[in-house]
């Protein structure tokens, strides 16, 4: 399996999640939310991430699937479009492995906003405190899922292949292989559910996520806020968020 997430990268369009919560102590999200249930676990697709380090773009393709499945019409991006997105933001040339250098999540998010994927764009994105599980849970509850980055240990690939939960090994995790971008689509008492490498229910314990996540974002898309959940007004200051999104277009 391929990785491909570069180090967290500042982007001027990145907004802060905490700035748009309606109160200093907004209601806690439900104890469990599993947004990925609309799509069979084996139907997510690799989007070439088994051969190319396009995980930042594959995760976006997975979110497009998740959001559209909840609005009633599942959209599955073409692999060629995902690879074109990766080429545009990273300089990747198909067939030339030397150009397969990975990409920053924020560059992928910017492409998603300005160009789009499978005919779907986002209005913007918000950074979440990746070290705060409650904030990540709120992101899933309100926006459908989180686009997260991890520093993936070697043991995680072995656990994935074996169909095991990602958990922290007491002695040796095999060392960090590199950065990986995945969709966090659910959570419960035992941890998070991630979508990665064509699998829609890769489970991870909270202690694993707390140790290996290094960035997290949720995206603002009219697909989700207007047609699907209707949850945003419960916690989110949509007026303030809309004003800031409009300002970024200037």
Q: List helix spans (H) across 72-150.
A: 79-90, 105-114, 133-143
* Span 169-218, pLDDT tens digits: 877 899 999 999 999 999 998 899 999 999 999 999 999 999 999 999 99
Range of the domain at 39: 30-249
Residue 112 is predicted with a pLDDT of 97
Which parts of 74-228 are beta strand (E)? 124-127, 146-153, 176-188, 191-196, 199-204, 213-220
Distance in angstroms (rounded) separating the CA atoms of residues 100 and 160: 23
Of the chain, the percentage scoring pLDDT greater than 90 comes to 69
Whether 87 shows a pLDDT value over 50: the answer reads yes
Residue given tokens 């990409």 in the structure block: 103
Domain presence at residue 120: yes
Please report, for the domain that includes residue 104, its CATH number: 3.90.70.10
Residues present in the chain in total:
250
How many CB atoms within 10 Å of residue 174?
13
Residue 236 is predicted with a pLDDT of 72
Residues 6+ apart with CB under 8 A from 233: none
Domain presence at residue 230: yes
Domain presence at residue 18: no
The arithmetic mean of pLDDT across residues 72-79, rounded, is 92
117: tokens are: 């994927």
Whether 229 shows a pLDDT value over 50: the answer reads no
Domain presence at residue 5: no
Whole-model pTM: value is 0.92
Lowest-confidence region among 15-19, 53-57, 82-86, 152-156: 15-19
Whether 99 shows a pLDDT value over 90: the answer reads yes
Residue 237 is predicted with a pLDDT of 74
Q: Are 86 and 56 in contact (CB under 8 A)?
A: yes
Residue given tokens 């656990």 in the structure block: 159
- Report the chain's C-alpha Rg in angstroms: 17
How many domains, the chain?
1
Domain presence at residue 20: no
19: tokens are: 């700035």
């Amino acid at each position: 399996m391929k990785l491909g997430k570069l180090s967290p990268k500042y982007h001027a369009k990145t907004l802060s999640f905490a700035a748009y919560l309606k109160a200093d102590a907004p209601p806690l999200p439900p104890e469990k939310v599993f947004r990925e249930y609309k799509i069979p676990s084996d139907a997510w697709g690799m989007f070439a991430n088994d051969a190319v380090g396009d995980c930042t773009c594959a995760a976006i393709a997975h979110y497009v699937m998740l959001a559209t499945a909840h609005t009633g019409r599942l959209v599955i991006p073409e692999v060629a479009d995902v690879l074109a997105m990766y080429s545009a933001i990273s300089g990747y040339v198909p067939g030339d492995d030397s150009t397969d250098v990975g990409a920053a999540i924020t560059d992928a998010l910017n492409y998603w906003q300005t160009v789009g994927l499978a005919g779907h764009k986002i209005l913007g994105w918000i950074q979440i405190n990746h070290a705060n599980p409650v904030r990540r849970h709120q992101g899933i509850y309100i926006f459908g899922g989180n686009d997260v980055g991890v520093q993936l240990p070697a043991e995680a690939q072995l656990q994935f292949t074996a169909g095991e939960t990602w958990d922290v090994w007491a002695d040796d995790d095999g060392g960090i292989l590199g950065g990986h971008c995945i969709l966090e689509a659910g959570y419960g008492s035992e941890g998070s559910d991630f979508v990665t490498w064509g699998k829609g229910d890769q489970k991870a314990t909270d202690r694993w996520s707390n140790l290996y996540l290094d960035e997290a974002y949720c995206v603002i898309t009219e697909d989700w806020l207007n047609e699907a959940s209707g949850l945003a007004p419960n916690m989110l200051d949509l007026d303030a968020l809309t004003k800031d999104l409009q300002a970024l277009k200037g």
